[in-house]
Amino acid sequence: ALILRCLAIILLALMLAAPVTRSRWLARLARPLGGVAVVADTSASMSARVDRTTPVEVAREAMRTILDAVPAGTPCVVASASSRTHVLPPADPGQLARQIVPTGSRGRLDAAVAHLLRSPFGPSPATVFVLSDLQRTSFCSMARMPRSSPARVIALDCGVGAETNRAVTGLRPDRRVIVRGRPLVINVRVEAWGADARRVPLSVVNAGEVEASQGVTPTPDAPAHADLELLPRAAGLFVREVTLPADHMPGDNARRFATVVRERLRVVVVGDEERTRFVRAALDPFDEGDPRSVVQVLRASASDLEELLRPRPDAVVVAARLPPEGLSALREALSDGVGILVFAGPAMASGASQLAGLGVDGVRAGDMREHGDGRALSELATRRPPLAGFAEPGSGDLQAARFTTTRALAVEDRAASVLARFDDGSPALVEVAEGKGRALVFATSANDAWSDLSRLPAFVPLMHRLVEHLAAPAAEEVLAGAPGEVAVGPAGGREIEVRRVGGEAQPVSVGDGVWRVTPERAGAYEVCTGGRTTAAFAVNVDRAEADPTALTTFELRERLRPLQTEIVDAGDLPGLLRRGMGGAWGLSSLTALLALLVIALEAVQSLEPETGGHADE
């Protein structure tokens, strides 16, 4: 009886521990634990083609085979996964397989597995089939998974052996504001994985026609860079595609660029005729109405400044001392996104509060300093706009200018950045971002009173670079990315529509002061306001998807830990299914039944009469 009672206690404790078995022999006596989940990888790398087949085609066939083998009544969840996980509605295996279509986004298969194991779609699956090419960038380490999870992951290797690849992985224009008739230089980055070091043509395509071309030689050790020059000849939507010759993965051989070309920039110049004549001549040297003009210059005085700020100009150049009402109007325009260039010349008295009145925090104007031998510019920030165009000697030598008088500028805030210094180390050109706009403070005069800069050839491109830089908002209006990512822009009080160029409109949601759109396909997208295209952006294949390197068995198990993981080749799937789905079965009911049986035996044993002993007589 004591032995039976101890055995009953042990069985009850074992039942509370929820034992799990994967033995096919014990499965006959146990209860199935969870169902089956099938996750198909739909990232961009699944479109690689080798020998007339692709990983996605292998995954579709494997999905049909798995779903046909699932026992009737077993809970089954089917999902597709790239950057996000989509649970597919119930349907026949053929229809589900047809919904597995590669996207241009990066795979997150670890997140998909975790999502299904925590999902409210029914009992947590005991077996999760992952149909993927096992690309290294598609799996990260598991997070927030219970270590006691009994789920088992069977990763089906659907790769087709695409070990080499070339891709256009970067595309960056030299300026954000593009004006009709002004050359645009696009820096292109090309990477290679396991490919031969051969020279291949890189082309810019517009409506099927090649506009520019250049040969590049990318290697696995060093990417190739190319600068392609384009000339936007008309205002409006500007879409171009940079392409490479076809290889195993066609999706990343093209990268798109989309923007809106402006007809002209509208610049308000504040100051008298003598102080601003060089600036106005540099920005617009042509007669009124000349089609070659790319900047409309509006001269303003302190009295009519507020009127010229409605509607908002692209930039304002200040070379005068303004009254409080003018400073207030400019401060409001700066917060709305209008860029301001301030020449801290003779009009700005020492200790003046003009910068503070503009709302330009972090920069303080000091006294004038005279330099008999002249000062030169040095430490130019040519790695970033607006001075990036002067990185090459042929684009203009700003260091040839001599400054006989300068304004002392004190940078008091980390948000302010020094773009150029004089050769004595003092700041010459300082940039400050304020609200949606930005301000530039130049420690010299706008004319030739303090320096000979305005008489040098580099002055004209410098003024255009500074104005174009100021015309671009301090914050990006649209964040271009990969399919499945969210593009964000300021909502404002306007109705907008986002439409794929040559395609359908995209759903737009507004919340927290911004509008959001989640593009599902690569391509060019335009943003329309009031029936007019106001912005454009391009959605391209995620750069990480261009790397064809696959995970090893050890790496995959480490990234899916603590789940039990097994990698199976696609050709071995029928044999695996003949051996069973590989699920888990709970033994709690069996141990509870055994405990009740032991208790019943102990009760019967206790009721039996004692035998033996001495007779009374």
| Per-chain mean pLDDT for the chain | 85
CA distance 230 to 273: 36
DSSP secondary structure string for all residues of 333-348:
HHHTT-EEEEE-STTS
Tokens for 454, please give them. 């305005």
* CB 431 within 8 Å of CB 384: no
**On the CB side of 477, how many CA atoms lie within 13 Å of its CA?**
20
* Window from 184-193, 461-470, 529-538 with minimum mean pLDDT: 529-538
Average of per-residue pLDDT across 82-87: 88
Q: Is the dihedral of CA 77, 80, 83, 84 positive or negative?
A: negative
Q: What is the pLDDT of residue 427?
A: 95
CA distance 490 to 496: 11
pLDDT above 50 for 615: no
Higher per-residue confidence, 464 vs 478? 464
Average of per-residue pLDDT across 392-401: 82
β-strand 254-261 against 265-270: which pairing, if any? unpaired
Average of per-residue pLDDT across 326-339: 89
Q: What is the pLDDT of residue 122?
A: 57
Helix (H, G, I), strand (E, B), or coil: what is residue 217? coil
Long-range (24+ apart) CB contacts under 8 A made by 412-417 are 412/362, 412/363, 412/364, 413/361, 413/362, 413/363, 414/362, 415/361, 415/362, 416/362, 416/363, 417/381
Q: What is the pLDDT of residue 539?
A: 93
* Window from 233-242, 432-441, 507-516, 532-541 with minimum mean pLDDT: 507-516
CA distance 200 to 215: 5
| Sheet architecture: strand order including 487-490 | 487-490, 514-517, 509-511
Q: pLDDT by residue (tens digit) across 197-251?
A: 789 999 999 988 999 999 999 999 899 999 999 999 999 999 999 999 988 888 8
* Window from 348-352, 390-394, 459-463, 612-616 with minimum mean pLDDT: 612-616
Higher per-residue confidence, 285 vs 391? 285
Q: What is the pLDDT of residue 11?
A: 76
DSSP secondary structure string for all residues of 115-144:
HHHT-SSSSPPSEEEEEE--BGGG-----S
State how far the alpha carbon of 529 is from the alpha carbons of 99, 526, 563, in Å.
Answer: 34, 10, 50
Q: What is the pLDDT of residue 492?
A: 66
Q: What is the pLDDT of residue 270?
A: 93
Q: pLDDT by residue (tens digit) across 137-154?
A: 899 877 655 555 567 899
Q: Is the dihedral of CA 497, 501, 505, 509 positive or negative?
A: negative
Percent of the chain past pLDDT 90, that is, above it, reads: 41
| pLDDT band for position 617 (cuts 50, 70, 90) | very low
* Window from 4-8, 439-443, 582-586, 589-593 with minimum mean pLDDT: 582-586
Residue 521 — φ and ψ, nearest 5°? -135, 150
Q: What is the pLDDT of residue 482?
A: 87
State how far the alpha carbon of 151 is from the alpha carbons of 34, 78, 361, 563, 568, in Å.
Answer: 9, 16, 57, 6, 17
Q: pLDDT by residue (tens digit) across 259-316?
A: 999 999 999 999 889 999 999 999 999 988 888 899 999 998 877 888 888 888 999 9
CA distance 12 to 325: 84
Average of per-residue pLDDT across 335-349: 87
pLDDT above 60 for 88: yes
| pLDDT band for position 590 (cuts 50, 70, 90) | confident
Instruction: Give this prediction's pTM.
Output: 0.78
| pLDDT band for position 574 (cuts 50, 70, 90) | confident
Helix (H, G, I), strand (E, B), or coil: what is residue 37? strand
Percent of the chain past pLDDT 70, that is, above it, reads: 90
For the CA atoms of 320, 322, 326, 331, the dihedral, rounded to the nearest 10 degrees, stands at: 80
pLDDT above 90 for 129: yes
Longest dimension (CA), the chain: 145
pLDDT above 70 for 255: yes
**Helix-helix angle 588-607:2-16, to 10 degrees:** 160
* Residue keyed to tokens 């599902």: 520
pLDDT above 70 for 34: no
pLDDT above 90 for 474: no
State how far the alpha carbon of 131 is from the alpha carbons of 42, 55, 140, in Å.
Answer: 9, 9, 16
State how far the alpha carbon of 382 is from the alpha carbons of 25, 299, 387, 426, in Å.
Answer: 72, 30, 5, 18
Q: What is the pLDDT of residue 71?
A: 77
Rg, C-alpha atoms of the chain:
35
Average of per-residue pLDDT across 542-564: 89
Nearest to 141 by CA among 551, 455, 464: 551
Average of per-residue pLDDT across 319-344: 89
The winner for highest mean pLDDT among 26-35, 107-116, 303-312, 354-363 is 107-116
